[in-house]
Amino acid sequence: MNISVIGSGGWGTAVAVMLAKKGYNIKLWSWVQEETDRLNHDRENKEFLPGIAFPDNILCTHDVKLCCEDADLIITAAPSPATRSTAKTLAPYIRSGQRMVNISKGLEHDTLKRLSEVYEEEIPQADISVMSGPSHAEEVARALPTTNVVASKDVKTAEYIQDILMGENFRIYTSTDIKGVELGGALKNVIALCAGISDGLGYGDNTKAALMTRGLAEIARLGAAMGANPATFMGLSGVGDLIVTCTSMHSRNRRAGILLGQGKSLEETLKEVHMVVEGVNTARAAYDLSKKYHIEMPIVEEANKILFEGKNAREAVLSLMTREKKGE
């Protein structure tokens, strides 16, 4: 079986390595030829996943046509700001009905669209699915037990992808709730950023537990208003992903939040993290969606004020704690 992974960041690389170890022929696509050359020479991704050797059956390439022409499955792992440009690049080479699964998490800020919607707009001939769940690239690459969920419009497509990805260290569940799976994976990054801010401020476990619980309530309210199944947010792509992203130092969103809580500017934070921080990209879109659907999301609102209006983080916490009293 031939599988192509589009995007050679940490997550794309980890999935490529995992699938190569299962014996599939893997093509790993990079945006620039120089990166492709470096990966082929080093046989590891020293920048995003150091110490993880590439199996011999991974071919790193910058040739999009080569990746698409004989692929039994195309896995897209482009960061959310690059999703549309990546889709446009792939579109001429995707055949009718070709199965694709997007494993990136986020929203397109300008349009407020989910990433699968972007792919569907640019590649209408493809069969688009999504995968999400609690899955740090560093742990998947080291073959630590991990579970995710694949969502497709057609359950048979979800089961096809499930069969490809499943292994003794990577368990896949299926769903047909694409909206819920994507929204949980995208919006939890904003809450994880806030959890990191709480850590950076020196607050404790009580504070973080409150943020996670009330943050999940905000995610579920918005998701339900947008047509997702509320039960999805109690699963792997909701509470599962929220837990791992809010509590682990593998999480770039949490690490970025810690720096913001310590008083660093957004510019300084992004420079130090040196990776895409999807929570920052998603925060504005989440706030705009809350207004569009008339959903109260106070944590998301305060996150935006910290990120883009310069509000002091301690004052933001005080604003949340002193809101009008209400029932849970």
Which one, of 152, 102, 93, 151, lies nearest residue 123 by Cα? 93
Determine how β-strand 127-132 pairs with β-strand 146-151.
antiparallel
User: Is 188 annotated as catalytic?
Assistant: yes
Q: Rounded CA gap, 100 and 114, in Å? A: 15
Strand, coil or helix: 292: helix
Instruction: State how far the alpha carbon of 98 is from the alpha carbons of 1, 102, 127, in Å.
Output: 14, 13, 6
- Are 197 and 258 within 8 A, CB to CB? yes
DSSP state of 298: H
- Are 183 and 151 within 8 A, CB to CB? no
The token pair that represents 182 in the structure block: 């994507």
Which one, of 278, 246, 244, lies nearest residue 138 by Cα? 244
| Alpha-carbon radius of gyration of the chain | 19
Q: Rounded CA gap, 145 and 143, in Å? A: 6
Q: Rounded CA gap, 314 and 9, in Å? A: 34
Q: Of the listed 27, 105, 113, 188, which one is catalytic?
A: 188
Catalytic residues: 188
